[in-house]
Structure 1
Amino acid sequence: MRSVLASKHDMHLSGKTVLKLMRQENRRCQVRRRKYRSYRGQVGLATQNLLDRDFSAPTPNSKWVTDVTEFRVLGLKQYLSPVIDLFNGEVISYEVASAPGLGLVTTMLDKALATLDEQTKPMIHSDQGWHYRHITYRNTLASKGIRQSMSRKGNCLDNAVAENFFGHFKEEFLRQRTFISLNQFRSELDTYIHWFNNDRIRLKLKGLSPVDYRTQSLVNMVPTLN
């Protein structure tokens, strides 16, 4: 809230002042619920934690993170699986489904890989959920020459960026809307992800949206010809 007021309206308020104003307007920050756990025991092999909580990335598409979250729409369980670029926090791809099957993750992965050229091979980090240990998922990564990294068992902080995105998704999107159908939910989800990538500013990105930051960074990376 303070970031939006400062960047969009040039209003620089203390945290206490913002809290007081929110109380006057009967607004509260939502408490984040416990996330969906996809671990089902020893299914396939786990890999090392190559990411090791280094959530910085020097260039776009050098480090990705992914995860699955569970929530309810119209009383029905839904599952969201995104791929997030650690360079700028951009959602590269995502898939939503009514069941946490393997297709939820493989479809998301295929969409993400389709955005890459042949030379770009990001490391992709996840928890130890069964989707990511499945031979189909692992073979897809291996066929593209992409390194796989996994969090330590039961340690959500090893994938903190994905956790943080789910928190924003639930507070900014799910809890601010009422849906009359799953089709409406999915249509508005598309709109939210577009807004998150293209319009939602972040102080960490110098007050830019993820897409604007990536675009500006790529321009700066191009060598100047004399």
Structure 2
Amino acid sequence: MALTTSTTSTASTTSLASVTLEVTDPEVARRFYTAFGVDDRIGLRASDAPSTGFRGFTLALTVSGPATVDGFVAAAVAAGATPLKPAAKSLWGYGGVVLAPDGTVWKVATSAKKDTGPATGEIDEVVLLLGVQDVKAAKRFYADRGLTVARSFGGKYAEFAAGESGESGAVKLALYKRGGLAKDLGVPAEGAGSHRVVLGSTGAPFTDPDGFVWEAAAPRTPASS
């Protein structure tokens, strides 16, 4: 795989086309993600790459209200996830965090603090948050590869626009300071080895400064297939 760490601007552009989790047992993971209700959002593939502690990223589900948050969290726990942060109100809304059996951290949240209707079981948005050492440098790196910055808050957070297709099942990319992300999730920031996640690129393969691997995207195969 080609390795690119230069921040020199390139002619081609890149967007996030898919997210694949590397798991030790794809069949077990597939059953979990089907029960969790996100099997159409991610891909799975087998890997025994060593990985310890915090893997440096989280997948976040944005939903319509607290009842829907509770529904997703309950489904995850019933399927074998470990609660890291019980669903609760916060300054920004309502949310909870769970650790999937394969080691992936998932956050489910809403900006609403009160329900305006019953739980829908629907996902409004999926965001892949990468924990990086330097948000500004990582933002420049990705902008040089053609990703469009949609929102940015100094050296704390940056979010990129979704791919042009905007199809159902798309995942948005965002950057967060690694230590701040770990704190938000309720886990220690220390970790080593493989991130156990591969990002599908619409452009050429590369590896970013924080070790996240991008591969040329193949047609996405849902976790349930």
- TM-score (norm: length of structure 1): 0.27
Q: Which has the higher strand share?
A: 2
Q: Which has the higher helix share?
A: 1
Q: Which has the higher contact order (CA 8 A, sep 6+)?
A: 2
